[in-house]
Every structure is written in C-alpha cells, then in structure tokens.
Homo-oligomer: A and B are copies of this chain.
C-alpha cells in the first residue's frame, strides 16, 4: 500500500488500501454496485479480512457451529496460537464472530458466528465453488506458463 496516500478512515484497522480513484466499470456484473464510492472501498475492507487464509478457514470452521479456542486450533491445523488469537480478535471486531466467556475453572471460551458472520457464508461458498470448479484449469495454466520457461 502506498505510504504516500493520505490516511483515510477505514475503520482504523489493518493496512490502508490505496486510493481507488479509478472509474469502476458501469456495465457487467459490477454495474450498480457501490464499489469505489469516493475514497473508501467497501470491498477492500472485506478482502483485507478474508484475503488472509486464516480468517477464511476460521469462518469456514465456525459455519459448523460454535467452537472453543483449542478446538479451533486443532481444526485449523497449522495455525499458530498467536495467529488464531489475532484472527479471532479481528473477526470479533468486525462483528463476524461473537466471543463468549464462561467463568468456569478452567476458563472456557466459545466462538460462534454472528448473524452477520453467517450471512457471509453464502458469498464465500460462491467463491469457493468457483475455485473448486476452476482449480484444475488454473493449475494447468500455471504448469504451461512455467513450462514455457518464464521464471
């Protein structure tokens, strides 16, 4: 992201997107979508969160129901404790995940998708289906591209 761009209020989180002064296409699937309003792009806010694999996987896991911290850690295998914490905090901050603490001993913390979080599941599934359907085509393209000698 360009450090020269003025700081804009995107909610105060994460890296700031570049200014999107470009004119969005007025036809096609994006027509009528408030994509690049003035100086703040809604899409970027979402992609900055879903773009990182951890968030996507955590949300995905939670579509199956509430889970506790270590259960999530096991389910999203490979995630470090730190990244799970950070990811959950961001998702909670965005209102996608609700954190509930049961004051037992030992403490028990449960994470579940909010209604907002659940509403994201279907758009995610659409993208997931696309990825699943075209995965082979993409891999094939990469192979031929690499085989053509381009580093």
- Interface band, chain A: 35 or more
Q: Does A106 contact B (CB under 8 A)?
A: no
The majority secondary structure among interface residues of chain A is helix
**What's the number of copies of this chain in the assembled complex?**
2
Q: Does A103 contact B (CB under 8 A)?
A: no
Starting from the known contacts A18-B78, A94-B138, 19 additional A-B residue pairs (CB-CB under 8 Å) come to A4-B78, A11-B138, A11-B142, A20-B77, A24-B60, A25-B63, A28-B63, A28-B64, A30-B125, A43-B131, A45-B138, A45-B139, A46-B138, A47-B51, A47-B53, A51-B53, A95-B141, A116-B134, A124-B127
- Which residues from chain A sit less than 8 Å from chain B, CB to CB? 1-2, 4-5, 11-13, 17-30, 33-35, 42-48, 50-53, 56-57, 60-61, 63-64, 74-80, 89, 92-96, 116, 119-132, 134-135, 137-143, 145-146, 150
